[in-house]
Structure 1
Amino acid sequence: MSISSSLHLWRRATRSVLFATMIAATGSAFAQTPKHGGTLTVIAQPEPVILTAALSTSSPTGIFSTNVFDGLIEYDKDFHLKPGLAVKWTLSPDSRTLTLDLRHGVKWHDGAPFTSADVKWTLENVWKKYHPRNQALFANVDRVDTPDEYTVVIHFSKPSLAVLSSLNSNGAQVLPKHLYEGTDILNNPYNNKPVGTGPFVFKKWVKGDYILLERNPNYWDAGKPYLDKVIYRVIPDGGARTAALEKGEVQYAPLSPVPARDAQRLAKLPTLRIETKGYEWLSPWLFLDINVDRPLLKDVRVREALYRSIDRDAYNRVVWYGFGKPAVSPVVSTLTEFFEPNVPKYPYDVAKANALLDAAGYKPGADGIRFRLTIDYLPYGDEFQRSAEFIKQAFRKVGIAADIRNQDVPTYTHRIYGDRDFDVTIQWYAGFSDPQVGVTRDYQSDSIGKNIPFTNGSGYRNPKVDQLIRDAQSSGDQAERVKLFKEFQRTVQTDLPSLPLTELHFFTLEASDLHDTVSGVDQVYGSFKNVWYTDPSRHE
C-alpha cells in the first residue's frame, strides 16, 4: 500500500471532510445499529510503565492511553485526515503556519473545559521538551498563538510537512494544562491516573493485574462510546494469554499477543477471528541495534559480519511464521514514496561473515570462539525471546558466543537508553507514515544517552546523517525531502549501526461478536469508541 506524503494527506483530507461528514450524517440503509453495553477485556502485555503517551512512545502505553485521550485529528482507513478535537486545519501556502480550529464544548474528565491553552502549553512544555519523536517533529516551531479559546496558530521557522502525519491521539497527545502547569511534568501523579477528553474515563490501576476504564457519559461524540467498560489485563505468560483468549476471558488482543503458531489455531475457533488491519500507520520494522561504542563493535566489518550471519528469510519464517517480510532498510517497503530499494545489501553468507571477522583481526580461538556478546531483547512477547535464541545460534556459526539477557521493561529501557550498558539488542520501532516521525530517531545523535526510550540506542554519530535529517525536517519541498531520505537510507545502510531484520506484520485476535474494531489505519493506537457487541448482555 502506498502511503501519501503529509502535505498530500492534508490536501486530500481537506477535500474529503465535507464528504465524510455527509456520509456519516446520511448513514447506510444496510448498516447494523450499534448496541450499548458490555465490557471489553484487552490484553496489556507488557504492562505499561506510564499511562500517558505524551511522555512515552511505548506500545503498551499507546494502546491504553488513546482511549482516555482524544487526538487533534484522526485517520480513516485510507489515510485521510478526519476531525477530532480539531474540526478544521489550514496550512499556509508557504507551509509555515498551521491553524487549528478546535471543537467547542469539549470537557476534560474532571469537568474543566478543553481549550487552545491546553494545546499551546502541551506543545511548548511537553512535545518540544520530552516526547521522543515530537522533539524533532516540532523543533521548527517558532511560536504558538491562541487568539481565542478555540483557535491555535502554530508558526514554524521552517516548513515541517510531517506534522500532519502525527497529530492523532498517540502522536501528539494533549495534556490538561490546569493539572500539569507548574509541576514536575515527568513525575506528575496524573501521568498514572490520567485525565483526558476521550471516550473512556480512568478509574483504577492495580499494578501487575489490571487497569479499569469506564464509559465517559459526557463524551462530545454523542451516543459514543457503546461499551460500558474496558479492562486491560496484565498476562505475562504467553500460554496464559492463549488460554484466556480460547476461554473467552479476553475479547481483544493486539500486537501479535500470542505465538503465531497459536494464532493460526485460535483463529479457526468460531469465537475468535484474526485481524491484520489497523497497523498501516505504524510501518513497523524490527532490527538489531548495535552499541557502536563497544570497542569490538566499532569496526563496520564486524557489524557487517553480524548482519551476514543472520538468515533473514529463515528468521521471518521460523520466528514470525511469515507474519513479516525480510527488511533491507529502516524505511519499510510499503512507504513507497520514501523507500529506497537501492541501498547496500548484505545477504546471508556465513563464509563472507567469517572472512570479515578474520580481516578485522578476530581469529577463532582453540575452542572456535572469536569473542562473546550479550544479546538483550525488548521484553514484549515470546517472539522477541525466540528472536534472541535464533540470533544466538546464527552468531555461533561464525564463532561468536552469545549470552541472552532477560529483564523487565523499565530495566531494559534504562540499560539501553540511559546507561547504554549492552552489546546488541533486538528492538522494533514504528516508522509511521513519514520517516521523520518514526525512523530518524534511531539515528539522530542528539538523544544519545539521555535515557529517552526508543531513540538512538546504538550511539551512532554521523554529522552527514544529522544534516540530512535536519534538511529533510525543514524542507517545504516534498520531492526534496524524498531525495534526502533516500540518501539517508543509503548512508545508514553503509554504516550499519542498526541492522534491519524484518518488516513486521502485526495481528490482532478479537472476539467474533465484536463490531467496528477497525476504523482507521492507526486503530491499534486508536480508541474503542466505535466498538460494540452483537449481544452486550453476554459480556456484562
Structure 2
Amino acid sequence: MFQHLFRKSRPLAWLAPTAFALQLLAGTSAVAAPAAETPRAGGTLTTIIQPEPVILTSALNSAAPTGFFSANVFDGLVEYDNNFKLKPALAERWDISKDSKTLTFHLRPNVKWHDGKPFTSADVKWTLENVWKKLHPRNQILFGKVTQVDTPDPLTVVLHFSEPSLAVLSSLNSNGAQVLPKHLYEGTDILNNPYNNKPVGTGPFVFKEWNKGNYIVLERNPNYWDKGKPYLDKIVFKVIPDASARAAALEKGEAQYAPFNPVPLKDAQRLAQLPSLKLETRGYDWISPWLFMDVNLDRPYFKDVRVRQALAHAIDLNALNKVVWFGFGKPAVSPVVSTLTQFFNPAVPKYAYDPAKAEQLLDAAGLKRNADGNRLKIQIDYLPYGDDYKRSAEYLKQAYKRVGIDVTVRTQDTPTYTKRVYGDRDFDLAVVWFAGFADPLVGVTRAYRADTVGKNIPWSNGSGYRGEEANKLIDEAQGSPSQAERVELFKRFQTVVQNDLPSVPLLELRFFTVQSSSLRDTVSGVDQIYASLKNAWFAQPPGATATVAGK
C-alpha cells in the first residue's frame, strides 16, 4: 500500500504568465547537456547560499539553506529520479509487508562516515528514535506510528508501525530523513552537539571549513560509495546578502550556481539572455512550495474569524503575483498546491479580493475606524530570505492600509524570526513559505498540528491553531491504510482549515536557479534542490577561478 504514493504527481502544469517566464521555461530544456557528453572530473564550484544557514544538518533544522547545503554531506536511504520514482542510496533495497505495517531496509555494505567509522543499521535506529521522532519538525508525525525498530544485523533495519504510514517513503531522501552518526551524537545534547556545525556524513563531499558570514567549504570525498563520483573537487558556498551583489557575482563568473530565485526577479530576464548563464526551473517539483501568511491566533483581535476573513479579502493575490513576484507564482487556493492533483481540493472556501467586504467584516467584528482612520495597529514579520519576501510584506502593508489596518513591517535575521514566531509567539502576522512535498502529511499538516505550538520548532504551527476537527483529520489520515481514504480526509482537512483560516494562503511559488552555461547535470531528480551535486561537472573550467578569502 505504500506504493500508492509513487504514482507520479502531474508535473507543474502552470507557467508564469509573463512572456519572459514562458521563454525561461521553454529555454531550460533547450540548454540541457547533450547525451553524448562525458563528465569531466575536477574543478571548484562556487555557489551562493542565502541566507546563511543557522545550522548545517537538516536532521535538526528543515530550513531551505540548511537543506541545500547538507545534502552534499549526508546521503538519504533513498533518492528520487525525475519521475518521482525511488532509487537506492544508503538502502540498496526495501521490503514492505502485506499489511503495510513493517518496512525493512537492506543497507549498502562498506559505506563509511567521513571519519572512517562504518555506517550501520544502528545509526538509522538511533536517529529515528532520538531525532526523527523527537526533534524533526516534519518527522515527528511521519514516524510517530513507529513502535519498534529492529536491527537484526549491521545492514538491516526493520521498522514496525502500529498503523500504516503511507507517506513515509515520500520523505526518505537526504533532506526528509537525514541519518546522523550515532557514535558522535549518542549521549550528547543533540541540539547543541558541535557536529551540527562541522558535520560528519556519508555523502559525496566532506566538510572542511565554515567561516561564518563569508563561506563554507566542502571537498570531494575520495571514498564515496558511488564510485567515480563526485566529479567536482570542491564546492564553496558563498554568503552574499545583497541581491545586486549576487547578480554581479553570477554575471562575472565569480559564482556558477545559485538556487531559490537568487537575484531580483526583475534582473532574471537580463541574466537569462547572457550566453554565460542559464536559468533552470527543474529540481523543485518535490517540494511543492507555497507562500502564506500566519495569523497569530493568540492575539485577541485575531480570535474572531471575521477579522481573519477580512485579512484574506483585502489582498489582491493576482496583483501580488504580478507586482511582487513578476509572475513566478500562482494565486493559492489552499495550503495544498494545485499541482498535487491527487490531494488538492479546488472546492474549499475562497476569499476573493473585495476590500469593501473586508471593511464590512471588520465593522461587524467591532473593529471600527478611529478618528485617524485606523481600526488596528499591528506588525508584520517576513521570512528574511530576500527582497521578494520583504516586498510581499510591504505589499500587504499597503493592502491593509486601504481597509484601515496600520501595519509596521519588521525586519530581523533568521534566528530572531524563527524564535519570535515559533517560540516566543511575539508577532501579529508572519509571511513565510513552506515546502508541501509530495504528500500533505509530510509538509502541509505541520503548519496546523496543535502539539507543536510554542515549542520553538521552526517551520511548524506558527499561527497557534488548535483546531480539533482538523487535528482529528490529520491523525486519521496518518493511520489510514487506504490511499483513497487518505485523499478524502485531506480534502476535508483543507475545507476545515480554510473555514477556520488560521493562515492565509497567498501564492504557489515557482523557483528558479541561475547557473553557468558550462555546468552540466545539476538536475538528477525532482528533489534536486535538496539533493547533492555529486553528478555535476564543468564542460569547461569556470571563466573566473573560485577563490576563498585568505587562501
Give the match for residue 42 of structure 1: 47
Between the aligned partners of 1:8 and 1:338, the Cα distance in structure 2 is 13
Residue identity matched to 2:440:
P
Give the match for residue 180 of structure 2: 175
SS at 1:98's partner residue? strand
Shift of 1:484: 0.4
Between the aligned partners of 2:274 and 2:143, the Cα distance in structure 1 is 46
Contact kept, 8 Å, 1:258 with 1:382, in 2: the verdict is: no
- Shift in alpha-carbon separation, 1:398–1:152, aligned structure 2, 3 A: same
Residues 381-396 of structure 1: pairs in structure 2 closer than 5 A: 381-396=386-401
SS at 1:161's partner residue? coil
- Shift in alpha-carbon separation, 1:259–1:6, aligned structure 2, 3 A: farther
Q: Residue 59 of structure 1 is aligned with which of 58, 64, 67? A: 64
Give the match for residue 480 of structure 2: 475
Residues 195-344 of structure 1: pairs in structure 2 closer than 5 A: 195-344=200-349
Residues 115-134 of structure 1: pairs in structure 2 closer than 5 A: 115-134=120-139
Q: Residue 444 of structure 1 is aligned with which of 449, 456, 475? A: 449
Shift of 1:95: 0.5
Between the aligned partners of 1:29 and 1:244, the Cα distance in structure 2 is 27
Give the match for residue 8 of structure 1: 4
Give the match for residue 376 of structure 2: 371
* 1:152 aligned onto 2:148: no
Between the aligned partners of 1:124 and 1:491, the Cα distance in structure 2 is 32
Between the aligned partners of 1:9 and 1:420, the Cα distance in structure 2 is 35
Find runs of 4+ consecutive structure 1 residues off by over 3 angstroms. Answer: 9-12, 536-540
Between the aligned partners of 2:3 and 2:426, the Cα distance in structure 1 is 40
Shift of 1:367: 1.5
Give the match for residue 15 of structure 1: none
Between the aligned partners of 2:417 and 2:34, the Cα distance in structure 1 is 52
Give the match for residue 21 of structure 1: none
Can you give the 5+ residue segments of structure 2 that lack an aligned partner in the other structure?
Answer: 9-32, 547-551
Residue identity matched to 1:521:
V
SS at 1:171's partner residue? coil
Give the match for residue 516 of structure 1: 521
Contact kept, 8 Å, 1:35 with 1:536, in 2: the verdict is: no
RMSD over equivalenced CA pairs, Å: 1.3
Q: TM-score, normalised by structure 2?
A: 0.93
Shift of 1:6: 5.4
Contact kept, 8 Å, 2:5 with 2:166, in 1: the verdict is: no
Between the aligned partners of 1:30 and 1:392, the Cα distance in structure 2 is 50
SS at 2:151's partner residue? strand
Q: Residue 419 of structure 2 is aligned with which of 394, 414, 421? A: 414
* 1:87 aligned onto 2:92: yes
SS at 1:536's partner residue? coil
Contact kept, 8 Å, 1:6 with 1:434, in 2: the verdict is: no
SS at 2:176's partner residue? coil
Shift of 1:536: 3.2
SS at 1:179's partner residue? helix
Q: Deviation digits for residues 203-227 of structure 1, max 9, x if unmatched? A: 0000000000000000000100000
Between the aligned partners of 2:461 and 2:487, the Cα distance in structure 1 is 22
Q: Deviation digits for residues 21-54 of structure 1, max 9, x if unmatched? A: xxxxxxx995211001111111110000000000
Q: Deviation digits for residues 343-400 of structure 1, max 9, x if unmatched? A: 0000000110011011111111122111111010000011000001100000001010
Shift of 1:8: 2.4
Contact kept, 8 Å, 1:37 with 1:537, in 2: the verdict is: no
Can you give the 5+ residue segments of structure 1 that lack an aligned partner in the other structure?
Answer: 13-27
Identity %: 69
Shift of 1:242: 1.0
Q: Residue 191 of structure 2 is aligned with which of 186, 205, 208? A: 186
Q: Deviation digits for residues 423-464 of structure 1, max 9, x if unmatched? A: 001000000000000000000100000000000010001111
Contact kept, 8 Å, 2:4 with 2:483, in 1: the verdict is: no
Q: Deviation digits for residues 52-82 of structure 1, max 9, x if unmatched? A: 0000000000000000000100000000000
Shift of 1:9: 4.4
Q: TM-score, normalised by structure 1?
A: 0.95
Contact kept, 8 Å, 1:442 with 1:457, in 2: the verdict is: yes
- Shift in alpha-carbon separation, 1:11–1:144, aligned structure 2, 3 A: farther
Between the aligned partners of 2:399 and 2:102, the Cα distance in structure 1 is 51
* 1:33 aligned onto 2:38: yes
How many residues were matched structurally? 521
Between the aligned partners of 1:162 and 1:488, the Cα distance in structure 2 is 16
Between the aligned partners of 1:466 and 1:297, the Cα distance in structure 2 is 20
SS at 1:317's partner residue? helix
Q: Deviation digits for residues 127-182 of structure 1, max 9, x if unmatched? A: 00100000000000010001111110000000000000000000000000010011
Give the match for residue 22 of structure 2: none
